[in-house]
C-alpha cells in the first residue's frame, strides 16, 4: 500500500469529520495588526493554507485579552468592531466552499488556539503563577482574583471565537504557556489553583464547564495541546512531584518520570468532553541537528511514544477522543512513510508545524501525487523543511515569523 493512502482517510473528531489526516500545528507569526486583527500578509498566508487542503488547521496562538499578549504582534480576540469584522471575514473566507467539484469530499476544520500570557506577557507586567516558577522565579505572582479574571477572559474569548465562525477552540496547555503551568507538581499555590492534583487541574475544569455552557453547540470542537511529559524538568508535569519541599530540601522523586498523574489527567480530559488531544512535550525535536538521511534523533520517538501512550489511555476508557502527534516537520521526506506507520498503529492525525511556513500547500501536493514513492515525488515538487530553526527568530521582538530558506 502506498503510504499516502493512510493520510487520505477521513478522521472523526467529535461530531465533525476532517477531510484527511494532515493537521497544521499552531505556528505563531507575530504579524497581526496593532488591534489584534489580521494583517494582509498574515491573511495571505492562511489563504495559501486553505488552498493546501489540510484536514485540520489550528490557527496560531491568539491572546484572550489585549492586556495579555505573548508576542508584540499577536492575534487577539476583542469586542472592538474592527477586530470583530476582521475575524468574521477571516472565518467566512476560510470556510467558503470551493466550486470545484473535485473538492466536494470534505472541508478543512478551522480551530483557534487561545491562551493568556502570564510570565510571557509583553503587553503588561509579566506575572508568575506560583513562587519559584522557573520562567520567573522571583515573581511577582498572580493573585487568586487575577487568575479568576483570566478565566473569565478565556470563556469570553471562546464565545467570541464561536460567534465569529471558528469550528472549535484549542485550549493551550503546552510548552510553558499559561494554562499548562498550573499542571506542574511544582505549583504549590496555597489557594484553589495549586497543591493537589484537583487544584492544579481546576483551571481547565472550570474553563470547560463554563465555556461549553456559554457556547451551547454540540458541533463545536473542544481540543487541547498538552505536554505528555515536561521533558525531564524536575517538578514538571509527568515527573514524580515538586522539586523542592518546604523545609526538607530536594525531593528525589522529582527527577523520576511518573505517568500516574498523566494518565489521571487523560481521564479528566475525557470526562470534561475534549474531542481531540494534541500531544507534545516540554522538549522539542532538535533543529539544525537532524539529518534524516542517516538517522532520526531519538527525541522524535519520545514524542511519538507519548502520543501512543495517550491513545492507549483513551482506548482503555473506550473513548473516541482523537489523538494528534507532533515533530513531523523535522523528518523531511521520511515523514510520510513513517507517519503512515503511526496512523496504522492508532494515531489519528499527523501534525506539521514549521513545514507549513515553507510549504502551505503540503497536503495538496502530497495527496495529489501519482502512485509513486512519496519521498521521490515531494523532493521535486514541494519545498521541504530543513529543520534549521531559523524561523523561530521572528518570535522575539518585532517579528514576523517566516521561513528563512524559501522566503
Check if the beta carbon of residue 383 is closer than 8 Å to that of residue 329. no
Among residues 303, 310, 348, 344, the alpha carbon closest in space to that of 326 is found at 303
Domain count, the chain: 1
Q: Which residues of 85-98 are buried (b: 16+ CB within 10 A; e: fewer)?
A: ebbeebbeebeeee
Residues 6+ apart with CB under 8 A from 203: 147, 151, 179, 182, 193
Residue 406 lies in a domain: no
Q: What per-residue string of b and e applies to 301-340 under the rule 16 or more CB within 10 Å gives b?
A: ebbbebbbbbbebbeeeebebbbbbbbbbbbbbbbbbbbb
In a domain, 407, yes or no: no
Could you give the CA distance from residue 277 to residue 259 in angstroms, rounded to a whole number?
16
- Structural domain contains residue 290: yes
The answer to whether residue 221 sits within a structural domain is: yes
* 3-class SS of residue 257: strand
pLDDT per residue as tens digits for the range 306-356:
999 999 999 999 999 999 999 999 888 889 999 999 999 999 999 999 999
Q: Give the CATH number of the domain where residue 87 resides.
A: 3.20.20.70
Distance of CA 146 to the CA centre of its chain: 25
DSSP 143: -
C-alpha angle 22/28/29, rounded to 5°? 110
Residue-wise pLDDT for 190-208, tens only, equals: 999 999 999 999 999 999 9
403 lies in some domain: no
Task: Identify which of 17, 48, 1 has the alpha carbon closest to the alpha carbon of residue 348.
Answer: 17
Question: What domain range includes position 53?
Answer: 4-395
Domain-embedded: residue 276: yes
Q: Are the beta carbons of 21 and 366 closer than 8 angstroms?
A: no
Q: pLDDT 10s per residue in the chain (407 long)? A: 788 899 999 999 999 999 999 999 999 999 999 999 999 999 999 999 999 999 999 999 999 999 999 999 999 999 999 999 999 999 999 999 765 544 445 689 999 999 999 999 999 999 999 999 999 999 899 999 999 999 999 999 999 999 999 999 999 999 999 999 999 999 999 999 999 999 999 999 999 999 999 999 999 999 999 999 998 889 999 999 998 765 556 788 898 999 999 999 999 999 999 999 999 998 555 554 445 555 677 788 999 999 999 999 999 999 999 999 999 998 888 899 999 999 999 999 999 999 999 999 999 999 987 777 777 777 778 999 988 888 988 888 788 999 999 87
- Alpha-helical segments (H) within 17-80: 40-51
Q: Give the DSSP letter string of 2-21.
A: -THHHHHS-EEETTEEESSS
Which contiguous run of DSSP H or E holds residue 157?
A: helix 144-164
Helix (H, G, I), strand (E, B) or coil at 264: helix
Cα–Cα dist 274/23, whole Å: 17
* Lookup result for grid cell 476583542: 78
Report yes or no on whether pTM surpasses 0.85: yes
Amino acid at each position: 500500500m502506498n503510504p499516502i493512502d493512510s493520510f487520505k482517510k477521513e478522521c472523526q473528531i467529535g461530531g465533525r469529520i476532517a477531510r484527511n489526516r494532515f493537521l497544521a500545528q499552531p505556528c505563531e507569526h507575530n504579524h497581526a495588526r496593532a488591534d489584534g486583527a489580521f494583517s494582509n500578509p498574515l491573511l495571505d498566508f492562511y489563504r495559501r493554507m486553505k488552498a493546501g487542503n489540510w484536514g485540520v488547521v489550528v490557527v496560531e496562538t491568539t491572546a484572550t485579552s489585549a492586556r495579555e499578549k505573548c508576542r508584540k504582534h499577536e492575534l487577539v480576540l476583542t469586542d472592538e468592531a474592527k477586530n470583530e469584522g476582521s475575524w468574521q471575514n477571516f472565518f467566512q473566507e476560510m470556510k467558503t466552499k470551493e466550486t470545484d467539484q473535485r473538492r466536494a469530499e470534505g472541508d478543512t476544520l478551522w480551530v483557534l488556539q487561545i491562551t493568556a500570557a502570564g510570565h510571557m506577557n509583553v503587553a503588561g507586567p509579566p506575572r508568575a503563577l506560583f513562587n519559584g516558577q522557573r520562567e520567573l522565579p522571583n515573581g511577582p505572582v498572580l493573585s487568586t482574583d487575577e487568575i479568576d479574571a483570566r478565566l473569565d477572559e478565556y470563556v469570553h474569548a471562546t464565545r467570541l471565537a464561536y460567534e465569529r465562525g471558528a469550528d472549535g477552540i484549542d485550549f493551550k496547555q503546552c510548552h510553558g504557556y499559561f494554562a499548562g503551568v498550573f499542571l506542574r507538581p511544582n505549583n504549590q499555590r496555597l489557594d484553589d489553583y495549586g497543591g493537589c492534583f484537583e487544584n492544579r487541574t481546576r483551571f481547565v475544569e472550570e474553563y470547560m464547564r463554563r465555556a461549553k455552557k456559554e457556547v451551547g453547540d454540540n458541533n463545536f470542537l473542544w481540543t487541547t495541546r498538552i505536554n505528555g511529559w515536561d521533558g525531564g524538568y524536575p517538578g514538571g508535569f509527568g515527573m514524580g512531584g515538586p522539586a523542592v519541599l518546604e523545609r526538607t530540601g530536594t525531593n528525589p522523586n522529582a527527577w523520576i518520570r511518573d505517568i500516574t498523574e498523566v494518565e489521571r489527567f487523560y481521564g479528566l480530559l475525557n470526562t470534561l468532553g475534549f474531542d481531540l488531544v494534541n500531544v507534545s512535550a516540554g522538549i522539542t525535536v532538535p533543529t539544525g541537528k537532524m539529518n534524516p538521511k542517516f538517522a532520526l534523533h531519538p527525541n522524535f520517538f519520545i514524542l511519538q511514544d507519548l502520543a501512543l501512550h495517550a491513545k492507549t489511555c483513551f482506548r482503555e476508557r473506550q473513548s473516541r477522543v482523537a489523538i494528534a502527534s507532533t515533530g513531523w516537520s523535522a523528518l523531511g521526506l521520511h515523514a510520510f512513510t513513517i507517519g503512515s506507520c503511526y496512523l496504522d498503529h492508532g494515531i489519528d492525525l499527523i501534525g506539521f508545524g514549521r513545514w507549513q511556513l515553507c510549504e502551505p500547500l503540503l497536503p495538496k501536493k502530497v495527496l495529489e501525487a501519482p502512485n509513486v514513492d512519496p519521498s521521490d515525488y515531494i523532493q521535486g515538487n514541494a519545498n521541504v523543511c530543513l529543520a534549521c530553526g531559523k524561523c523561530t527568530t521572528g518570535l522575539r521582538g518585532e517579528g514576523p515569523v517566516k521561513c528563512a530558506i524559501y522566503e
